[in-house]
Amino acid sequence: MNTPWVTILTSAAVGALASSMVTLVGQLLERRSRRNELLLAKALEMAIRRTDVLLEAIKISGKGSARLPDEVINAETYFRWLKSLLVSGKLPADTEKYK
């Protein structure tokens, strides 16, 4: 008589544990996705701001034209830098040339 209840309770406990694990994994993936989305948004903002600053500098200097880097290339660089800062707390080695 106790055996069916033990089986039912054990099955419920295993189901609850499995459900919790799936939920936990889903939350971790969602957090990672949101973090990367935020990093990309900030990297794009930084790239656009850099282009604006360069355009303003061109206007102030009176130079008629200049070659501006593509904002997407700058955003990719800023994304890598921000991700490195988040993960390791340091900028990657390729930033030395900008210091």
For residue 17, the model assigns a pLDDT of 94
Model pLDDT for residues 11-45, shown as the tens digit of each residue = 999 999 999 999 999 999 999 999 999 999 999 99
The domain ranges of the chain are: 2-98
Say which residue, 82 or 1, is predicted with more confidence.
Answer: 82
Which of 48, 38, 43 lies closest to 69 in space, CA to CA?
48
DSSP state of 99: -
pLDDT digits (tens, 9 = 90+) for 55-86: 898 888 887 777 888 899 999 999 999 999 99
**Of how many residues is the chain composed?**
99
User: In this predicted structure, what is the pLDDT of residue 96?
Assistant: 84
- Spatial CB neighbours of 49, under 8 Å, sequence gap ≥ 6: none
Q: What is the pTM of this model?
A: 0.73
Of the candidates 99, 79, 98, 81, the one whose C-alpha atom is nearest the C-alpha of residue 90 is 81
**Alpha-carbon span 86 to 31, nearest angstrom:** 14
Model confidence at 95, pLDDT cuts 50, 70, 90, reads confident
Q: Enumerate residues 6+ apart whose C-beta is below 8 A from 18.
A: none
